[in-house]
Amino acid sequence: MTPSGPSARSGAQPDRGVARGGSAEAKRYLDPAVVARLSHLDVRARLVVEGFISGMHRSPFHGFSVEFAEHRPYMPGDPLKNLDWKVLAKSDRYLVKQYTEETNLRCHLLLDLSGSMGFQSPRASLSKLEYGRSLAAALAYLMLRQQDAVGAMMFADAPLQYVPARSVRSHLDVLLATLSTGAPQGRTRLGPALHELAERIKRRGLVVLISDLMDKPEEVLSGLQHFRHRHHEVIVFHVLDPDELEFPYHDTATFVDMESGERVTTEPWEIGARYRERLEAWQARYRRACREQRVDYVPLDTRTPFDRALLAYLEKRATLL
């Protein structure tokens, strides 16, 4: 039995859906108390990013009327307006000013809408999908607040909805309405969705994947590597239910795969140790591969309030900037 098998996708009630409309989404996913705890944090990219408007993130390109970076010797063909005339007057040296642009971060939120994301055990207050939606909503709020551009993509076995990144405050209603739509459906196929989005995004930025990663690790990691090859920064929030993590079953039970409908009747006490061993190996593979690819891997348990988990991650991240 593997973590992506029937036992890892069993026992969930169908997703009950959410209300539509920007204000309704704000109340559902952005509780005022949560916003108050998170609003002082900036989500900054650790790698160099590109953007269109003046913001707070470094750009690799040189521009004009922006922050001064350094001098370099004048070369034939350089515009004379870039000469540092003060240096020339004092030292008779022909030097050109170079600048570093300040640009906004472009973030793309990827939310897994596959069938397994609908799982919710009695010990969890939210299904994995509802937890992921709340997490994505909080990130969208934070980034738009600091004038970053945010987009979103919903996917299952194929991309379902795509919202291009924008930085205007009114874009939050669009993002929340998109994140709230759709019930868990289909099989998990992260690889094709990740590759497709990697081809769509032309400018470097931040990609945030929120998923239970119930797919073949080699396909998921290949998709993440595609983003890193294009110099995006990548964060993976690996969302799992406590019952998936601990497998607390003892009596004879029938497990139903939420994506294929396959049913397996077994004795949990016989397979529990082996299940937990394989789950640990599965997570370790993701953790190791993400570290090698310079991808942030963040395991999350849906028992932990999403705002507390996000706050802990962002505070830790801030110490590395």
Here the tokens at position 126 are 């939210």
Here the tokens at position 166 are 């924008």
Q: In angstroms, rounded to a whole number, what is the distance separating the alpha carbons of residues 287 and 2? A: 17
Start-to-end C-alpha separation, the chain: 40
Would you say residue 54 lies in a domain? no
Q: Do both 29 and 71 map to the same domain? A: no
Would you say residue 312 lies in a domain? yes
Q: Do both 172 and 270 map to the same domain? A: yes
Q: Do both 303 and 214 map to the same domain? A: yes
Q: In angstroms, rounded to a whole number, what is the distance separating the alpha carbons of residues 55 and 112? A: 29
Burial class (CB in 10 A: 0-12, 13-18, 19+), 320: exposed
The beta-strand segments (E) located in 262-320 are: 263-266, 296-301
Residue 84, domain extent: 62-100
Q: Do both 169 and 251 map to the same domain? A: yes
Q: Do both 310 and 234 map to the same domain? A: yes
pTM tops 0.75: yes
Q: Do both 12 and 67 map to the same domain? A: no
Q: Do both 154 and 174 map to the same domain? A: yes
Reading the chain (321 residues) residue by residue, the pLDDT tens digits are 434 443 344 443 333 333 334 456 666 677 777 777 666 666 655 554 544 444 556 666 555 445 566 777 877 777 787 788 888 888 888 888 766 555 678 899 999 999 999 999 999 989 999 999 999 999 998 888 888 899 999 988 778 888 999 988 889 999 998 998 888 887 878 888 889 888 888 888 999 999 999 989 999 999 999 999 998 999 999 999 999 999 998 888 888 888 777 898 888 888 889 999 999 999 999 999 999 999 999 999 999 988 888 888 888 887 766
| Residue 3, C-beta contacts closer than 8 angstroms, at least 6 positions apart | 214, 244, 275, 278, 279, 282
Q: Do both 69 and 36 map to the same domain? A: no
